[in-house]
Structure formats: structure tokens, C-alpha cells
Chains A and B, each alone.
Chain A
Amino acid sequence: MSWHPVLEAAKLGDGEIAQAEAAGESVALYRVGDTVYATQELCTHAYVSLVDGYLEGTSVECPVHQARFDITTGKVLDPPANCDLKTYPVKIENGTIYVEVP
């Protein structure tokens, strides 16, 4: 496991989602208030990018088929997905978002 800098924290506004690469893993970053969460970028149902999804509170909805996930745990909240998202630890240091990937 190692930490990878992925984005300047200032570039991710509250309620926004951004795509980033960390050691070959494609991740989606979500900002909810002062906290940033990271999950795998693609929905587990039809592999659509969640970066174009809808963030409400701490859930993200896939923009195509409306699967919903809890971004804090990766757990499926609504079908059609039935496989959870991978989640990644996140930290912000000196204005930079870091994601920890295996």
C-alpha cells in the first residue's frame, strides 16, 4: 500500500466528483463538505464512469442506469448494481489529495 498524490484539493468543490489515476487505478474522488472520498471510477453494473454521476449526501448515482452506492463504504444501495465499489483511503496534506492504493 502506498499513498499517491492525485489532485489539488482546491480543484474539487463541495458536491463535485473528479476522476484521477493512482498507480494505474482509475478512481472517482468525491467531496462532501471538508471530506474527500475515493472509490473505483466505474460502476460495477455496466462500467459507466461515476464521475458523470450524481452526488447527493454521501451517495452517488450512476448517470446511466441509476445504480446507487454509498461512497463511504462502497456498498450498493440500489440496483441494477449488485457488486460493491472498491473504496480507497484518502488524506489531504498541504492542499493535495492523496489516495492509498495497493
Chain B
Amino acid sequence: MSAAGDALVILGGGQAGGRAAEALRGAGYKGRLAIIGEETMLPYERPPLSKDLLAGRSSCDALLVRGTDWYDHEKIALHLGQPASEIDRQAARIILADGTRIPYSALLMATGARPRQLPFAPPGDRIHYLRTTDDCFRLREALQARCHLAIIGAGFIGLEVAATARKLGCTVTVLEVAPAPLMRAVMPEIGGFFTGLHRGHGVELRYGVRVHDIDAGDETVHIQTAEGSLTAHHVLVGIGILPNDELAAASGLAVEDGILVDDCARTNDGAVFAAGDVARRESPRYGRHIRFESWHNAQNHAIAAARNMLGPPTPYDEVPWFWSDQYDVNFQSAGATQSDGETVRRPGASDNSFALFLVEEQRLIGVQAINFQRDMRWARRLIETGVEVAPERLADPAVKLQELAKG
């Protein structure tokens, strides 16, 4: 499958990078393969960083896509803890910060994303951001001291950390500039559910609060808002992520809040591909380019990109899917998150369980659901296949989704 001169390089040592390497070897590519990553840890999955790893109930080893032995056995050159400083597309090589040059015949950009920072709140002893295991361990130390944690941003990172911090006995205050939580990602009823959930667990949630300044002292941190100030021991800022697309842009690749790729993960350079958090991919399903920030996309888009690096163009346009675990609640979302069509509510098996279906022209286009794991597979299949379905049947818990999915 590979010519002698082949050298595939994956720039980015996160989940997408690891899954791409696995898929390349799994597809029978035996040529040279290298992973370049800024972090020193082997590629790992990040969801536990706000949950089990943060709570001290998991270890780093459990997060790894593959263990060290596998990379040795598969002869994958690992350049970890080595940031790249340039992509020289003319010479088809990556230049690392220490000057090392790594040539490629095909390159996968899997550089991921980084937390968006508040300009007045650089990371420090009492000001936390959460993206890496190192971030997680610093925050964990603070939580284990049962501190008062202020969280800026009621997104998934903020709310998952709030749940973990409450479980560890911390006092938690969440400040959110919007009037509701998770506004970019969920339907209003889901937002209301999470507000009730966290308040029920003793989290103080304040909406419509804009933070003007943060002043970290030796023992405490002071947060200035329009209404006054709040003093806590530590603050976590979770206000979204930014794609790591600067090297790509500097090398002349097409970038627009993420590296632009077609539905075969190809950039505007035939030898360069991009996948995962950093890629803004063409989605025929939605008729536009979209950047997805999820575990599912990091894995499956990377696998698709790997296939496209080796073989004939194979389009990838899976229905987006993500989840969040908070306390004993599992939330999942698949497909569209907003619609001009109808919203259909279906009660679940317990009081604390329901699904909201978005229906357009007798077709399911999206679902958001609480404690509805067992039926999510069929809901996702209904979205994928686009079979006609009557809204009243979706709403009726006596009608099995599995049956509807079979058409």
C-alpha cells in the first residue's frame, strides 16, 4: 500500500492523532509514520479530565488510546513534548521548535484546540483552565482541599467540573454571562433541567453576570463583576476553545476558525489533511462547513482522514453526537440542535428521563435527551437513515424507537 518514499506525519498527539495512527496501521500501512505532539503524554481521551480523573477515580493509563508497547511494536516515531514551529509546505516538511526537520509525503493536522483565555486572567496557581492532564492534576489538588471554587462559564466543562467539585465537598459558584447554561449547544428545556439539577446539588448559579477582572492573591482570588465582587479560593475559566490553526494559516493553508477541509478531510493542499477539533469540515448533510468539538468527532473524523490519506476519496459526514455526564445524569445530543420545525417530547423510563426530538417534514433531524442511553442508538439511526416517522409515534413511549428505526 505504500511506496518506499512514503512518510506519513501526524501533527498533534491527542485523541485524533492517536486514532489516526491506529487507523493507518489498521488499514495495512507499513511505511514510516510519526506523531508530533506538544504534550509529553501519549495520545489520550479527554472526557475523564472533568470527571473521573478529576475526582481521583481514574488514572492516566486508563485514558490512553494505546499503551507505549503498541507504538514501539508498530514502529511509530513519537516526537512528544516537541512543539512544531513551522510547516514548510514547499519542502513538505515540519520544523520542530528545536530545529529538527521531519519530511512528509502526507500530513495530517490534528493539532486540536486550546481553552479560550480571559485577557485579564492568565493561568496561574489559582486561575485554572482545563484541557490537559497537567491542568486536571492542578485543579484536582485545589478540589481535594475542599475549596470554594468559582467557575466562569456554564458550558459543559464548567458544569461537569461543578458536579465533580460538589461531589468532593467543594463550595461552587458558577458565573455565566448568558441568561441560561449551555446556550450554544442545548435546547431551552435541557438548559432549564441542568439549572435545576445543579441548584438541587447546592451549586450557586448566577446568570447574566459579566466578569470584568480577576485578581489572584496568595490565598484567595477576587472576581470583579458588574454587580460587585466574589471571593473564592480558586477559579476555573471554561469559556470555550479555540482551534490550534495558526501554523496552518502561516503556511498558507485555508483557515477560517479552523482548518478548512472537504468531506474527505482534505485541505487546499493535496498532501495535507486535517481532522478533529481543529478541522472545519464540509458537511453535505448540513450544507456548510462545521467545526465539531467532541470525542466522537475526534475519533471518527480522524479515522476517516487516515483512510483518505491512504486510499481513494471516502467521504465522511456522520451525524454529530456528544454527551455529558453530571452527577447521576447522562445527557446526549445527536444531529441538529436547533430547528424551525416541531419539537416532540417523549417521556423516558423514569421520572428523571426524557427525550426531545426535532422533527422536520416527518423526519427526525435531532435529539437531545436526559438519561435515555438505551434508546439513543435508535434515535441516531433514525436521524442517519432519514426514514419518515410520525411525530405522535415518537412521542409515545409505548412505541419502540427500535421499531421506528427499522422503518
> Residues on A close to B: CB < 8 A?
52, 54, 61, 63-65, 79-80, 82
Contacts and interface: CB of A to CB of B under 8 A. Distances in A.
B373 A64 contact: yes
Given A52-B373, A52-B374, A61-B377, A82 B66 contact: yes
A82 B303 CA distance: 14
Nearest to B295: A65
A63 B374 contact: yes
Contacts, number: 21
A80 B22 CA distance: 10
B45 interface: yes
B42 to A, nearest CB: 13
Main secondary structure of the interface of B (DSSP, over half): helix
Contacts of A63: 373-374, 377
Contacts of A54: 377
A79 B224 CA distance: 46
Nearest to A64: B373
Contacts of B66: 82
9 contacts: A52-B373, A64-B373, A65-B295, A79-B19, A79-B303, A80-B45, A80-B65, A80-B299, A82-B70
Main secondary structure of the interface of A (DSSP, over half): loop
Interface residues of B, number: 12
Contacts of B65: 80, 82
A64 B377 CA distance: 9
Nearest to B63: A46
Contacts of A80: 19, 45, 65, 299
Given A79-B299, A80-B19, 9 more contacts: A52-B374, A61-B377, A63-B373, A63-B377, A64-B373, A65-B295, A79-B22, A82-B65, A82-B66
Interface string B36-51: 0000000001000000
A32 B22 CA distance: 31
A84 B360 CA distance: 41
Interface string B65-83: 1100010000000000000
